[in-house]
Structure 1
Amino acid sequence: MIDRSSDMAYWKSQSYSSRLEALEEIRSEYINWKYGVKQEFQRVYRVTKLKSC
């Protein structure tokens, strides 16, 4: 049986940055498992209209 209280105590004892780093690692592994690719930044384009002179 899983002892969730000791898991919670462990994560509460970790620093915010350590918890965030672990979460990012889990998220990255899940995306790689689910989609078979490493997630990277998406491209963002902005289309603007130039004023004619």
Structure 2
Amino acid sequence: MIDMQDSPRRVMPVVKKVSMREPNRDIAYWRTQPPQARIDVLEEIRREYHLWKYGEAEPRLQKVCTIVRISGQR
């Protein structure tokens, strides 16, 4: 039996050749999916991108502060 913890993980690439003249089936597929399923997949892609781009850093919203002087007051 192979111990998976000691062996390096190998991911086999998946490649599918398609003709550029062939209609795009991805659009038809995603149009059949409910909105929540589309949002869930989009969120997963966003998380994967953030992990790839920024590592383990926690995704956060940027804080923006603006100081405005009100005329007539000090």
For residues 20-35 of structure 1, the aligned pairs below 5 Å read 20-35=39-54
Higher helix share: 1
Where do 5+ consecutive residues of structure 2 fail to align?
1-15, 19-23
Where do 5+ consecutive residues of structure 1 fail to align?
none
CA RMSD of aligned residues (A): 2.4
Pick closer, same or farther for the CA change 1:38–1:29 going to 2, 3 Å. farther
Question: What TM-score, normalized by structure 1, do the two folds share?
Answer: 0.64
Identical counterparts, % of pairs: 37
Question: What TM-score, normalized by structure 2, do the two folds share?
Answer: 0.51
State the number of aligned residues.
Answer: 52
Task: Tell me: higher relative CO, structure 1 or 2? Use CA pairs within 8 A at least 6 residues apart.
Answer: 1
